[in-house]
Amino acid sequence: MKILLLGSGGREHALAWKLAQSSHCSAVYIAPGNAGTAQVGTNLDLSPLDFEGIRKFCTLEGIGMVVVGPEEPLVKGIVDFFAADPSLRKIPVIGPSADGARLEGSKAFSKRFMERHGIPTAAYREFDSSNYTEGIAWIQQHPLPVVLKADGLAAGKGVVICQSTLEAVAEYELMIQGSKFGEASSKVVVEEFLTGIELSIFVLTDGKHFLTLPEAKDYKRVGEGDKGPNTGGMGAVSPVPFADTAFMDKITQRIIVPTVQGLGAENIDYRGFIFIGVIKVGDDPFVIEYNCRLGDPETEVVMPRLKNDLVELFLAVAGQKLDELTIGEEERTACTIVAVSGGYPGSYEKGRPITGLDQLPAGDTDSLVFHAGTRAENGAVLTNGGRVLCITSFAETVYEAVDKSRDVLEKIYFEGIYYRRDIGYEFL
């Protein structure tokens, strides 16, 4: 079967790498991909949001399955677009309908969904121009810190944790009246701040059944010791040492089961990944957020640890037969370190040549290089984004895995290269 994968980051390189290993897969096409995905498949000059272009390509090339990496095509209804077209209807698309993608596309929807199904999450209120002044009064009496969330998609920047009431009111005003995130912040969720340690849970559901993939922890701050501004993610580890069986059981019973059952009860067609951002408060799990896709860079540790044939899992999702399969996990720890362009997450240069990518010792199966923001040009690989490369390594311990990835990174160079040397530090 020929498979089309949408997206261009490290997550998509890891997915393409895993798809290409499947006995069901004859070719992987990536729209648009990066220099790394081109090593395992064929890149296309096609935007993940160009549904008409995707339709043409699928029809022309006889694509048998579409896998959606990022959230935007899902929130914009690519699954519904396929379902509505008689020539595309038979092609499974891995991802939820636009209805289901609201779990990520609207914070207010996801909070109400959790409320309806008794899923533990931070207490909140939602405000827009219709109850604007009520919101100010609410913020003024709210304990600190207080969390403000733009309702819609805001490229990962829509969550602001405010340490003072003054800052919170200013931010609230900026979001709703100043349209800080455009239409996405015309509605704002004001939420209680939860204190604890976070982890990322990945559920694959066919709408009736579900399987839980290996969990992961990502490191969002740019600086070592979790300091400095938020990024898309600077590294990840899997498994997560504190996610023991007792805690994972609580997550399953209190969060995953009611989420999947809730989607079914509301007749939402959801056949894809649910990424649940969970925070451990004391001994109890609370949902911080849902995403309708896999995480990045978590995928770069989750896919390498997954022993299953990924296409077999996806075929079971499409046929609603996930109950017939189980997940196999690599026992060893995987760690990924993300190398970024100097200046990221602020402004940075692109087009810097990358050297040392072929320096992995021959026969080294413990380390993998996943490309994120890269592109190939005349035989060279150039930087093409903030997050450039993800180096994933396996070892018995977090310490050794991080050490191996750092060893590989020492041999790789581009002007301005930066990476955190302390991924997994709290588990060392």
Specify the amino acid at residue 41: G
Site string for ligand GLY, 206-225 (x = CB under 6 A): ------------x-------
Instruction: Give 193 or 427: the residue with its C-beta nearer to ligand AMP.
Output: 193
Q: Nearer to ligand GLY by C-beta: 310 or 338?
A: 338
Q: Which is nearer to ligand GLY, 292 or 412 (CB)?
A: 292
Give, in order, the Cα–Cα distances in Å from 320 to each of 161, 206, 405: 40, 5, 38
Q: Residues near 394 by Cβ (< 8 Å), separated by ≥ 6?
A: 304, 330, 332, 333, 334, 366, 367, 401, 404
Closest CA to 339 of 380, 386, 382: 386
> x-or-dash pattern for ligand AMP, window 116-145, by CB under 6 A?
------x-----------------------
Residue nearest to ligand GLY (CB): 295
CB of 159 to ligand GLY, least distance (A): 11
| In the complex, minimum distance from the CB of residue 7 to ligand GLY, in angstroms, rounded to a whole number | 12
Report what 233 binds from ligand AMP, ligand GLY, none; CB cut-off 5-8 Å by kind: ligand GLY
Minimal distance, residue 160 CB to ligand AMP, in Å: 9
Nearest to 393 by CA among 341, 340, 349, 332: 332
- In angstroms, give the least distance from the CB of 35 to ligand GLY: 21
The entry of ligand GLY, ligand AMP, none that residue 296 binds, CB within 5 to 8 Å by partner kind: ligand GLY
Query: How many binding residues for ligand AMP (CB under 6 A)?
Result: 12
Torsion of CA 228, 234, 237, 242, to 10 degrees: 20
Residue from 215, 298, 300, 366 binding ligand GLY (CB under 6 A): 298
Work out whether 233 is an interface residue with ligand GLY (CB under 6 A): yes
Q: Rounded to whole angstroms, how far apart are CA atoms 335 and 323?
A: 29
Select the residue interacting with ligand AMP from 57, 132, 138, 193 (CB under 6 A). 193
122 contact, one of ligand GLY, ligand AMP, none, CB 5-8 Å limit per kind: ligand AMP
Please give the Cα distance from 332 to 336 (Å, whole number): 13
The one-letter amino acid at 428: L
CB of 418 to ligand AMP, least distance (A): 21
DSSP label at residue 186:
S
At 28, which helix (H) or strand (E)?
A: strand 27-32
What is the three-class DSSP state of 65? strand
The residue within the footprint of ligand AMP, chosen from 35, 147, 188, 395 (CB under 6 A), is 147
295 exposed, middle or buried (CB, 10 Å; 0-12, 13-18, 19+)? buried
Residue range at the interface with ligand AMP (CB under 6 A); choices 190-198, 199-207, 249-257, 386-394: 190-198
Nearer residue to ligand GLY within complex by CB, 120 or 295: 295
Q: Binding segment for ligand GLY among 79-87, 140-148, 251-259, 288-296 (CB under 6 A)?
A: 288-296
- Judge contact between 255 and 120, C-beta under 8 A: yes
Residue 99 CB-half CA count within 13 A: 12
How far apart, in whole angstroms, are the C-alpha atoms of residue 60 and residue 108?
Answer: 40
Q: Which is nearer to ligand AMP, 51 or 286 (CB)?
A: 286
| 44 contacts 32 by C-beta, under 8 angstroms | yes
Helix H or strand E segment including 213: none
| Minimum distance, C-beta of residue 147 to ligand AMP, in the bound complex (Å) | 4
DSSP string, 319-339: TT-GGG----B-SSEEEEEEE
Segment lying near ligand AMP (by CB under 6 A), choices 15-23, 59-67, 186-194, 265-273: 186-194
Q: Assess 9 for contact with ligand GLY (CB under 6 A).
A: no
C-alpha dihedral (380, 303, 324, 110), degrees to nearest 10: -110
Provide, rounded to whole angstroms, the least separation between the CB of residue 288 and ligand AMP.
Answer: 5
CA–CA gap between residue 186 and residue 309 (Å, rounded): 43
Interacting residues toward ligand AMP by CB under 6 A: 122, 147, 156, 159, 191-194, 198, 277, 288-289
Interacting residues toward ligand GLY by CB under 6 A: 218, 233, 291, 295-296, 298
